[in-house]
Amino acid sequence: MADTYLILSIFVPLLGSILCLLFPKKVRDFWALIVVLLSFIFLLFLISPVMKEEIIGINLISQNGGFFSLSFLADGISLIFALVFSFIGVIALIYSLTYMKSYDNQREYYFMIPLIIASLIGVAFSENLILLYIFWEIAALATWRLVGFHREENIVRIADKTFLMTFLGSSFMLLGFILLYNQTGTLSITQLKGIEISNLKGILFLIFLGIIAKSACLPIHTWLAEAHPVAPSPMSAILSGVEVEVGLFAFLRLFGYTFNWSGSWILWLAVISSLIGAGAALREKDIKRIIAYSTVSQVGYILLGFALLSKIGFLAGLLYFITHAVAKAGLFLGAGAVEQQYKERDINKLGGLIKTMPLTGIGFLFCSLSIIGIPPFGGFYAKLMIVLATVKEGHFFIAALAVFAAILTMLYLFRLFNGIFLGQGTLGRASSKRWSMVGCVLFLGIISLVIGIFVSQVLELPNIAVANIFK
């Protein structure tokens, strides 16, 4: 039965998204939410067998020669990512029911969101690398359409840049997969696990280029700060909350689980990316650009944990992936609520909104505190574990830079919160018709706190995932 739930978690939102093009508005919007919610429920049914250390696999179509197969694998790693992808998708769609009311072209929007979520879950569960690439590109195409949702000339240009930069990276990744097949005769993740990699390092570098392009890591990071201000805020929550992190999944699946290969240069790339993202966020005035550069910075932090190739590093990276996805989605949804209410994103022109949007402010603050790493929020334990893991592996200077990046994170997020919610504002009272939007922001803020309070329980599934890596 578990393999059925696995398949349904992908194909219910994938096929259900098509019906969003056919249904009338009154049905369509809720249908999009229902299919993603069903996907999340199916994934919940996989927790029990995975916690028992079962590996759930299913092969629907196989091609002779091992180049392509429609095969899926559910273990601790893939289930963690899939659960987070679908959870953020559900929250974004609930938020969208109010946020999107005033916009045109909603039919395409509600078609694309379930399609993106299905594709990301497909990436997580793909056992074949070509299948992973297909889902990867479906998500990229849907993202291109939604970044350019408003269809203005400048917005379309930014959407094109977003697609071209990530497609360039994924083209290198595809080339790496083809060369890998020529060397090994298979693209099955299960068959590749533990293979000798001494002659594959050039191929792995090509694959890594695709990963950092998708994850908006240095030096292929500039597209993210341009994409966020023009995309609908629920799309921003998905883009920074989960989609850029699908690249981190690929790194963990391939470089951690399959090949167990990294290098000190990846550690340096991760921490420098974290520093540059934080520094750029400090200079910005646009709410969405600040949060976008924060994503560049925090993705560097997660990559640092994974690239250590240690048990505590993997565990810390997984915990921070969960924490960051929840909190970053909350920040973008909070930014969307402010922008839609006051038609303003410049923090120098806002202020005092804690009086007019108190619940949004509380949710936004909780999400910020989690990303900063203030106890007892989830981000505190994750960041502490990443720094300790870095020290344990003997990378003392890198650990010091990671701490400095955390200090910069505190500075720009406090500056952001102060600019929006504190001070003497001159803006009017907020509308009372956006309770679903406010509720989503507050809910994600509370979840950020709950993750920290119940961190040992949250770590149960990541512990299973990490143990499976070292089998």
Q: In this predicted model, what pLDDT tens digit does every residue of 186-244 receive, in sequence order?
A: 999 999 998 888 888 899 999 999 999 998 888 888 888 899 888 999 999 998 888 89
Percent of the chain with pLDDT over 90: 78
> Is the per-residue pLDDT at 173 higher than 90?
yes
Nearest CA to 455 among 275, 312, 320, 345? 320
The pLDDT assigned to 429 comes to 64
> Is the per-residue pLDDT at 430 higher than 80?
no
> Is the per-residue pLDDT at 425 higher than 70?
no
The pLDDT assigned to 318 comes to 98
pTM over 0.85: yes
Nearest CA to 465 among 308, 249, 307, 187? 249
Q: What is the pLDDT of residues 410-422, one digit of tens each?
A: 999 999 999 999 9
- One-letter amino acid of 10: I
Nearest CA to 216 among 242, 253, 235, 254? 242
Percent of the chain with pLDDT over 70: 98
DSSP state of 69: E
> Is the per-residue pLDDT at 25 higher than 90?
no
* DSSP assignment string, 211-228: HHHHTT-TTS-HHHHHHH
The pair phi, psi for residue 306, each rounded to 5°, is -65, -40
* In the chain, where the domains are located: 1-257, 262-471
The pLDDT assigned to 451 comes to 98
Q: What is the pLDDT of residues 361-380, one digit of tens each?
A: 999 999 999 999 999 999 99
- One-letter amino acid of 414: F
What does the buried/exposed string (b/e) look like for 203-221 if buried means 16 or more CB atoms within 10 Å of the residue's CB? bbebbbbbbbbbbbbbebb
Nearest CA to 371 among 450, 287, 272, 291? 291
> Is the per-residue pLDDT at 433 higher than 80?
no
The pLDDT assigned to 133 comes to 97
- Give the C-alpha separation, 388 to 384, whole Å: 6
> Is the per-residue pLDDT at 432 higher than 60?
no
**Mean pLDDT to the nearest integer, 56-64:** 84
| Three-class DSSP category at 131 | helix
- Give the C-alpha separation, 164 to 254, whole Å: 24
H-helix or E-strand spanning residue 71: strand 69-74
H-helix or E-strand spanning residue 312: helix 311-342
Average confidence score pLDDT of the chain: 93
**Tokens representing residue 52 in the block:** 């028992």
The pLDDT assigned to 64 comes to 64
Q: What is the pLDDT of residues 98-145, one digit of tens each?
A: 999 888 888 999 999 999 999 999 999 999 999 999 999 999 999 999
